[in-house]
Amino acid sequence: MTLWWIGNLVFLAVVIPVVLLLLNRVVRPILEIKHYADDVLDHGVKLTGTLDCVPVLATTCELTAAARLNVTRYGLALARMLESGTGREPSARRGKLRAR
């Protein structure tokens, strides 16, 4: 019976602290990973909020193309007006604008 008590004391004094030490070495990285995963989730949710206007980019691209076309037409009309008002020959620049 005395050996049984000595075995229990050795178990309490040696084995349990070693198990707790090893458990601590496993639990600490697990908690760090959980913290990083929560951080990634938080920032991912915030990022999706900024992506709401991405579908509107296609409309913006179409509108800028139409605006470029209108600016080109305006430039050609202005060039025609200036050339007809001064009596000059049509310039080479006019041909370049039409080529676009």
Contacts of 98 (CB under 8 A, 6+ apart): 76
Q: Which residue has the higher pLDDT, 9 or 96?
A: 9
Q: What is the pLDDT of residue 1?
A: 84
Question: Which range among 31-45, 53-67, 78-92 shows the weakest confidence by mean pLDDT?
Answer: 78-92
**Cβ contact 96:79 at 8 Å:** no
* Structural domain boundaries, residue 7: 1-52
- Check whether residue 65 and residue 41 sit in a common domain: no
- Check whether residue 27 and residue 69 sit in a common domain: no
96: pLDDT confidence band, cut at 50, 70 and 90?
A: low
Question: d(Cα 69, Cα 67) in Å, to the nearest integer?
Answer: 5
Question: d(Cα 100, Cα 95) in Å, to the nearest integer?
Answer: 9
**Domains contained in the chain, number:** 2
- Check whether residue 59 and residue 43 sit in a common domain: no
Averaged pLDDT for residues 12-34: 93
Q: What is the pLDDT of residue 85?
A: 74
Q: What is the pLDDT of residue 95?
A: 56
Q: What is the pLDDT of residue 12?
A: 85
